[in-house]
Structure 1
């Protein structure tokens, strides 16, 4: 009896020692660049945007919304609200043929529908919304040959738990049936928004590949040190997630390239925390010939 107990404790001690050596692979710098495109109907085309061959480039089509064109909610039946005239399935095929490093995603929700009405998350029930969303999104993904989904709801008429189950179950089905290969969320610093997205992260974070945190939602005049503090705070909120650095080219706020954004990125890179960069948006960057996008991709291409 004594020898059996001794053997058991010895085995458990050995097993504990082995497990203590096994750690999750730490997050690290990447060469991921992402850009939202198509929300403002400014005739921007995929071919207008410079693409560095040494980065992983994601175009994020903005937006697909579960509303009709007359701004009536449709309970998960998504329709295309981006610039369909210029951002077509054939133009996606053309870019993919020229650039093997480019992938495409569609973003769900956004701020407003085309007439300025808020795009509310407003499901009738979890089951009906998920079923409708899966069917309609699968159709759009296949029609446009897309690779991923981004979740960018910003206004809510449902609880965090309902949002969590609707989005979580949707991503689960889309990934399990190989409709999409990656997913991201796009929260920002607002109590209501954060309560919804952090609840989703806690339960379904394993399905979410990237956190497109909208750091440009912070005030104008954000400094480098403030940005780095914000980045650390959001990395803690979405612990274990690939939180991407971001800036906007529409003058909305946050740390801008002119005020030190790339300096902050270099600091993150030195700490092994530059998991990628995303930009809002190509529509606004066209007027400046995408100079900030070029600089961002050059920085990422040199990531060690």
Structure 2
């Protein structure tokens, strides 16, 4: 006859072993991984920058982001077209044949387009839907057409001015992303918010309901003060990681003289610190147009940093 006390002890030990195994496995799965993703906006400034001008390190994942597709008319007084997007980037230098060429020469390159941006012809570009259903219908149609014409891989959301409440923005963009992803129109999506009381609520509303469809958060850290220090930058990163909990928050700086933490003042030091913590999800730069004069020095440095094992 088996010893019941011994059997109970064995069962208890086995149960504890299974619990520990599950706990350890969950920790392994939850361990964050550093990324070798580099992204760069291109085409907004009309400075004749081509894809081939920008150095591409073969050991990173490289995303060009065309800037911008806009649902406004191009006139002396731009007005909303309620979701009918057209490309307003430098189409002479950044056209479908050049996209095919850069992808052919660099298998690690993907190309996305960003929606809206800040201004068009010195006028603010507003998110201004006539209705959720009509905006989504028009956006799906026009964006699908652009993606197919240019052979694009992804989409970025960069509205910075709003004539609609956060919930309407969340529903419009969210339904658009649902369609684009479910129908394999795009393979990845990102948003590009920054710290501003008139902007963040819209993106946070979108994140709360549709964050599972958003692969990257291109947070505009260069919108902070140009006297930003490394400790402040780390605090900003923690704040935005909390806001967009579970999201891949990319680090960023501008080469246009905007604010934030610059490479000269410790940007790569902050990157190293986050990399050591397993929190470096990638780097993006605004923008290739502004980097041309400096021969893309920081693009090379950023990609070398990401590609290194250090």
In the TM superposition, residue 25 of structure 1 has moved relative to its aligned partner by 3.4
* 1:7 alignment partner in structure 2: none
* 2:110 alignment partner in structure 1: 103
* 2:90 alignment partner in structure 1: 83
In the TM superposition, residue 302 of structure 1 has moved relative to its aligned partner by 1.3
In the TM superposition, residue 157 of structure 1 has moved relative to its aligned partner by 0.4
TM-score by length of 1: 0.93
Q: Higher Cα Rg: structure 1 or 2?
A: 2
Residue 295 in structure 1 maps to residue 301 in structure 2: yes
Deviation by residue 1:216-259 (Cα, 9 ceiling, x = unmatched) = 00001111111111011101100000000000000110000111
* 2:79 alignment partner in structure 1: 72
1:131/1:21 CA distance change after superposition, 3 Å: farther
Provide the aligned C-alpha RMSD in A: 1.6
In the TM superposition, residue 27 of structure 1 has moved relative to its aligned partner by 3.0
Matches of residues 107-256 of structure 1 in structure 2 within 5 Å? Answer: 107-113=114-120, 115-256=121-262
In the TM superposition, residue 179 of structure 1 has moved relative to its aligned partner by 0.2
In the TM superposition, residue 21 of structure 1 has moved relative to its aligned partner by 6.3
The residue matched to 1:87 in structure 2 has which SS? coil
| Aligned equivalents of 1:286, 1:228: Cα separation in 2 | 29
- Structure 2 unaligned regions, length at least 5: 1-11
Residue 266 in structure 1 maps to residue 265 in structure 2: no
* 1:3 alignment partner in structure 2: none
In the TM superposition, residue 19 of structure 1 has moved relative to its aligned partner by 7.2
The residue matched to 2:198 in structure 1 has which SS? helix
Q: Which residue of 49, 52, 67 maps to 1:47?
A: 52
| Aligned equivalents of 2:128, 2:22: Cα separation in 1 | 45
The residue matched to 1:105 in structure 2 has which SS? strand
Q: Which residue of 27, 30, 48 maps to 2:32?
A: 27
- Structure 1 unaligned regions, length at least 5: 1-9
Q: Which residue of 57, 61, 65 maps to 2:62?
A: 57
In the TM superposition, residue 68 of structure 1 has moved relative to its aligned partner by 1.4
| Aligned equivalents of 1:50, 1:19: Cα separation in 2 | 45
| Aligned equivalents of 2:184, 2:31: Cα separation in 1 | 26
* 1:281 alignment partner in structure 2: 287
The residue matched to 1:191 in structure 2 has which SS? coil
| Aligned equivalents of 1:292, 1:261: Cα separation in 2 | 11
* 1:4 alignment partner in structure 2: none
Deviation by residue 1:129-175 (Cα, 9 ceiling, x = unmatched) = 00100000000000000000000000000000000000000000000
In the TM superposition, residue 28 of structure 1 has moved relative to its aligned partner by 1.8
